[in-house]
Amino acid sequence: MSNFHQRKDYKINRTGLIYDPLMLDYNCLWDPIYPEKPDRIKKPYERCQFYGLVEQCVNIPGRPSTDEEVLKCHTDRVNKLMSNLPNLSYEELMHLSTQYDSMYFHQNCDKAARFALGSSIELLDHLMSGKVDNGFAIIRPPGHHAMHDEPNGYCYFNNAAVVAKTAIEKYSLNRILIIDWDVHHGQGVQYQFYDDPRVLYFSLHRYDYGNFWPNLRQSDFDYIGEKEGKGYNINIPLNKTGFGNSEYFASFFNILLPIAYEFKPELIIISCGYDSAIGCFEFQPELLLISCGFDSCVGDEKGRMNVTPAGYAHLLNALSCFTNAKLCVLLEGGYCIKSLSEGVALSVRALLGFPCPRVEDFKQPDPVFVKTLMNLISVLRPYWKCLQSLNDTDDSISLEQYLLDWDLKYRKDIKFYTEETKPEEFELTGFYPMYSDDENSHWDKKIDELIESTDLFVPEKKTCFQVEDGIEFSCDLFFQIDKSESASEILSVCQNLAQRNFTNGLVLVKEMNISSGLMQIAKQIGEKYARIKKFLNIFLADDVHLLNKDPNVFNIIIGTKNDWNEQDDSSNLFMIFENLDDASLVTIFLRIILPIAYQFNPDLVLVFTTDLEAIKNNKVTHFGLGQVYKYLSALAEGNLVLTFQEKGSDPYQKVIETSKLVLNGNSLQQPNPLIPDENQRNAIKQKIDKLKNIWNCFQFNEKLPK
């Protein structure tokens, strides 16, 4: 790991961590290379220890679940089946395993499964009591495939589903978001809440048009819930291998995050599978539950996706914007131990509040993925305002006819798993994919290169500030730097970030002359410091007349009025919206600015906030600006400079106070549901239509069936 330097006093969040060796005490007795094995939690925990993360977390003791807790989502038959496992012989365990899909049983499975479930509930209790801000449960067995009446897919009890039910019944929560990025569809969770609008389930999984396990018709994009829960089940089926950060981030920017702002979750549960990682072979919420499978991580031979370990840190940073919600991360899949371990460690690091590592190589989203997202928007947009008016309609075909045509084209010869096609006995070994020795060597080398190139250096101090003479400002958490006679306040802060003395900075000036002089900052820093070459400048101001011609600088001007007629190009973006407010501002960032920013991949981000009419009249507030500042803090390894013209007025003072919270990593107060009106959505669509010829990240503007 290059430049690894972890500051113990850098963290800001109280992050709960659950791990216990008790969950190591079972394995497949008849198959020594079975993918679900003790190292799946042992090695990730050791990686967290290596980075010094365990000692910075609130270590929460786990516990076994009660029968009452198991029965919230499972039948008494399943409960008794599990409790009887210690009494079975080797032969009886083998026979029992043939009765269930992708399962093995061991005398100690019951003890481990109950401990994993109980520990997940214990994490929820710590979140709801305010003892921790967020938390990660490094547990096995996983849970999201477990059905109401049968174990399935390495899963015995459904940890995420029981936690959600507990949150509803014990804590009276009504808006729970479950995010499942495990590369296998968490059908067990989907079935539990398919008609329940209190739970919004979002799954991003490999599908291959139904040819990938669990081979269910119900895992496709058009299964969106039923009755009152219609629209609250969201499947993004990945119909091709090799998808990576570009596709996963696009699903967040275009689907998940806009809907989450509308839903306003109270809890977010992340079913955190890391089998989509590179090399891996497999409403506003009140609570965020993340079923965290890492089999989408690079190198996993089940997932065969290419999400990098650092990519998960950025996804978690985005979800941390929902600060009223509790963030509960539960480990699910992940079978390439090296990428799984790195993914877990960088996820815990992100939860603690450390800056996100850089993510490279954002490419044009794959056309197969684009088609999937368009299909999903087609079926979801009647239920979510944020998805409406963002695409033109093709009046030549109805949605019903389109779905019939899709079924005929892609599902005609697929043998889906049903009760009728269920075999009398399931295979015990050899049914899982495996890489050859050469493939393993290739991915092992690739993951080592990723780890080595990921810069985790953290400066001794976090935030510096500089104020122009005559401005009164103090902050005990920040460090005031000495002003250089030969440099402006902004340049002084940028130099300190370039020297890695600080991670981010705040600047207050009396007057802000937005002119070509600001472009000289990039030139001076770029000439002197080799690590800072690309600059992202964002101007939140009206009537800015500034044109950039430097390919290493990208300027974004956001305002409510501008009499200039300059056109967007690869170095300039003009976002002028007459009725700019919090909802449209955040939507602009999700749909337009963040996709460009990740593709541009800056080394330093500078935001200039000055004369913006929308701030003066309280349409753009500190709530909305806090959200976008938080998103920007994930870029450039956290190297973010926020510059304000000191106005003295109440709206600007609130914005400055919010910026201090963002730079320090504190939680923000979440705004009301952010839903841009139809005129704003139309304006955003028109802007995207113009930008698609400049930036290839804009591929999601196809016409949709009526």
Known catalytic residues are 145
What are the structure tokens assigned to 145, written together?
């495939």
Outline where DSSP puts E strands in 175-322: 176-180, 199-206, 233-238, 266-280, 286-300
Which residues pair with residue 290 across a beta bridge? Answer: 179, 329
Place of tokens 């981030």: 249
Q: How many residues does the chain have?
A: 706
Residue 317 burial by CB count (10 A; 0-12/13-18/19+): exposed, middle or buried? buried
3-state secondary structure of 391: coil
3-state secondary structure of 91: helix
Show Cβ contacts of residue 256 under 8 Å, excluding neighbours closer than 6 positions.
179, 202, 234
What distance in Å separates the CA atoms of residue 37 and residue 613, rounded to the nearest whole number?
A: 59
Place of tokens 């499947």: 235
What distance in Å separates the CA atoms of residue 411 and residue 207, rounded to the nearest whole number?
A: 12
What distance in Å separates the CA atoms of residue 141 and residue 93, rounded to the nearest whole number?
A: 17
Place of tokens 């809890």: 267
What are the structure tokens assigned to 400, written together?
């019903």
What distance in Å separates the CA atoms of residue 364 and residue 696, rounded to the nearest whole number?
A: 5
3-state secondary structure of 394: strand
What distance in Å separates the CA atoms of residue 226 and residue 689, rounded to the nearest whole number?
A: 34
What are the structure tokens assigned to 703, written together?
């016409």
Distances (CA, A) of 488 to 414, 493, 508: 65, 9, 11
3-state secondary structure of 374: helix
Which residues pair with residue 202 across a beta bridge? Answer: 179, 234
DSSP 123-180: HHHHHHTTS-SEEEE--SS--TT--SSS-BTTBSS-HHHHHHHHHHHHH----EEEEE
Q: CA-based angle 625:631:632, to the nearest 5?
A: 90
Amino acid at the residue 535: F
- Residue 571 CA, chain-centre distance (Å), reads 28
**Which among 593, 613, 608 is positioned nearest to 542, based on CA atoms?**
613
Residue 423 burial by CB count (10 A; 0-12/13-18/19+): exposed, middle or buried? exposed
- Residue 641 CA, chain-centre distance (Å), reads 24
Distance between start and end Cα atoms, the chain: 51
DSSP 190-210: HHHTTT-TTEEEEEEEE-GGG
Distances (CA, A) of 602 to 5, 393, 609, 664: 22, 36, 19, 21
SS3 readout for 456-489: CECCCCCEEEEECCCCCCCCCCCEECCCCCCCCH
What are the structure tokens assigned to 214, written together?
């669990």
What distance in Å separates the CA atoms of residue 321 and residue 630, rounded to the nearest whole number?
A: 7
What distance in Å separates the CA atoms of residue 442 and residue 378, rounded to the nearest whole number?
A: 39
